[in-house]
Each structure stands twice: as C-alpha cells, then as structure tokens.
Amino acid sequence: MRALTTLFTTLFLLTIGPRARDERGLSQSTENAILLAGAVAVATIVITAVTAYVRAHMPT
C-alpha cells in the first residue's frame, strides 16, 4: 500500500511540476525606460504646442 501511495504521489507531483518560465518580452527595466521615454516625448509635444499657442496669441 505504501508503494502505491508513493507511486501516485510521485506521478501527481510530476504532472503539476514547476511551469516553464515565459522568456518572451522585455525585462521590467527596459519596459520602464521605454514608457518613461514615451511620457517625456508626449510632455515635450504638449509643452511645445501650448507655448506656440500662447506666443501666437500674445499682443505685440
């Protein structure tokens, strides 16, 4: 009986073993750097547009 329990336990643990890691995609630091660069680009575009609008509507 003990051998049968050991066999079933071993088979069960082999079927639910650790999952393979998914190595696709970027690392977290690379992803953060890309997002930061995108945020800086958007902020630069907004600031440039607002500055151009304000300068165009200033009295001379």
Residue 9 lies in a domain: no
pLDDT at position 5: 85
Judge whether 25 lies within some domain: no
Look up the pTM and report it: 0.54
User: Is 7 within a domain?
Assistant: no
Tell me, yes or no, whether 8 lies in a domain.
Answer: no
Contact 26, 34 (CB under 8 A): yes
pLDDT in tens, 46-59: 999 999 999 999 88
Q: Is residue 11 part of a domain?
A: no
Higher confidence at residue 2 or residue 42? 42
Residue 6 in domain: no
In a domain, 14, yes or no: no
Q: What is the pLDDT of residues 3-27, one digit of tens each?
A: 888 887 877 777 786 777 766 777 8
Range of the domain at 54: 30-60
CA 27 to CA 6: how far, in whole Å?
40
Q: Domains in the chain: how many in total?
A: 1
C-alpha 17/C-alpha 23 separation (Å) is 18
Please tell me the predicted confidence (pLDDT) of residue 8. 78
